[in-house]
Each structure stands twice: as structure tokens, then as C-alpha cells.
């Protein structure tokens, strides 16, 4: 599929699955290097719903024991970020004193990551690192370091590989950009 239509918008393919898979290989290698021979069991924190596909692909490539925990935060309505982050679902396990790798589908404004880091600090995590499939450097203006970035992309609205437009398009294996 070179183009897809979701509701009232058309999207064109911009990143094929093969490129996504290669980027995940590279980011997983960096994480494996950092967590090689770890004696603890780090937590992979899946930020629902968008990170499900990335999380599934990433964890297959990790070479250390890890626990999976989920949470759900939301800040979008349609194609627009509201700027307000709310926790739609709390953490699915106690992470006090644990090392956490936040697994995000995309970091754009950074509001979600900042809110999530605050939540994790309140929960008493020992350390938290951020891993994102996609980073929009033109949109990200926060001082918080993103530890692992699989791909950098322009500040365009995209769907596919977990990302959605009004909850549609997450199931596409490729990534599509809004066709203007």
C-alpha cells in the first residue's frame, strides 16, 4: 500500500517496515551494550497504545532478562496535541527501586515524556531511561535527554507501526505521512 485513507485523511508511505526493522536492530544493540551482564531485572515500560508494536519488536532483540510493565498516557485529539497529558491507565506493577526503560513510539513535544518521568520519580524508581522509535527533533524543545532513538523524522503527522489517527492505522507495518 503506497497510500491509505483513514476517515477524512489520506496518508502516503514514508518509512517502509524494512527501514523500521533496521533502526530497531541498531537501537536494541545500544541497549544490549548498556545492560549487558546486568544483575538486576530492568523494567520495559510500554506506553500504550502506540508503543505496542515497537515494544514487541524491541524486546525480541534484547539479550537480558526484563519485566514488562504498561501505562497509558494521552495528549492527542485527532491530529493535534492538546498540550495536556493525562494518565489514562496507571502502572501495571510496582516499580519502586527498579531501573526502567521507557519504550515510546514517538517523542515530539516531549510533554508525555516529562509527565511520565515525573510519575516514575514519584514512584521511586532507581533510574529511568527513554527509548523511542521516532524523535521529531524540530518539535522537541525539552532539556530531558532521550537515551535511545531509533529514527529521527520531520515534524509531520504520521500513522502506522503503532501510531494512529483517531485510533486507526496502528496496524500498518509501514509508516505513513499525512498527504497534503
Q: In degrees to the nearest 10, what's the CA dihedral of 104, 110, 114, 117?
A: 20
Residue-range domains of the chain with CATH: 17-29+39-145 (3.40.50.2020)
Q: DSSP alpha helices (H): ranges in the chain?
A: 17-35, 52-61, 111-123
Q: Which residues are catalytic?
A: 108
pTM of the model: 0.93
Report CA 81 to chain centroid distance, whole Å. 16
Query: Tens-of-pLDDT digits for all 180 residues of the chain?
Result: 899 999 999 999 999 999 999 999 999 999 999 999 999 999 999 999 999 999 999 999 999 999 999 999 877 565 566 667 777 788 889 999 999 999 999 999 999 899 999 999 999 999 999 999 999 999 999 999 999 999 999 999 999 999 999 999 999 999 999 998
Amino acid at each position: 500500500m503506497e497510500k491509505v485513507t483513514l476517515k477524512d485523511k489520506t496518508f502516503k508511505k514514508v518509512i517502509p517496515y524494512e527501514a523500521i526493522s533496521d533502526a530497531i536492530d541498531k537501537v536494541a544493540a545500544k541497549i544490549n551494550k548498556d545492560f549487558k551482564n546486568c544483575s538486576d531485572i530492568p523494567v520495559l515500560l510500554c506506553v500504550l497504545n502506540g508503543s505496542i508494536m515497537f515494544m514487541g519488536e524491541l524486546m525480541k532483540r534484547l539479550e537480558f532478562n526484563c519485566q514488562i510493565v504498561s501505562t497509558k498516557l494521552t495528549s492527542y485529539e485527532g491530529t493535534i496535541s492538546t498540550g495536556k497529558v493525562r494518565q489514562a491507565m496507571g502502572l501495571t506493577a510496582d516499580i519502586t527501586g527498579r531501573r526502567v526503560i521507557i519504550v515510546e513510539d514517538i517523542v515530539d513535544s516531549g510533554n508525555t515524556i516529562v509527565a511520565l518521568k515525573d510519575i516514575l520519580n514519584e514512584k521511586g524508581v532507581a533510574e529511568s531511561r527513554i527509548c523511542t522509535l521516532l524523535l521529531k527533533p524540530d518539535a522537541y524543545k525539552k532539556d530531558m535527554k532521550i537515551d535511545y532513538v531509533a529514527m529521527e523524522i520531520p515534524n509531520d503527522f504520521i500513522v502506522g507501526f503503532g501510531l494512529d489517527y483517531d485510533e486507526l492505522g496502528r496496524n500498518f507495518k509501514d509508516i505513513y505521512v499525512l498527504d497534503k
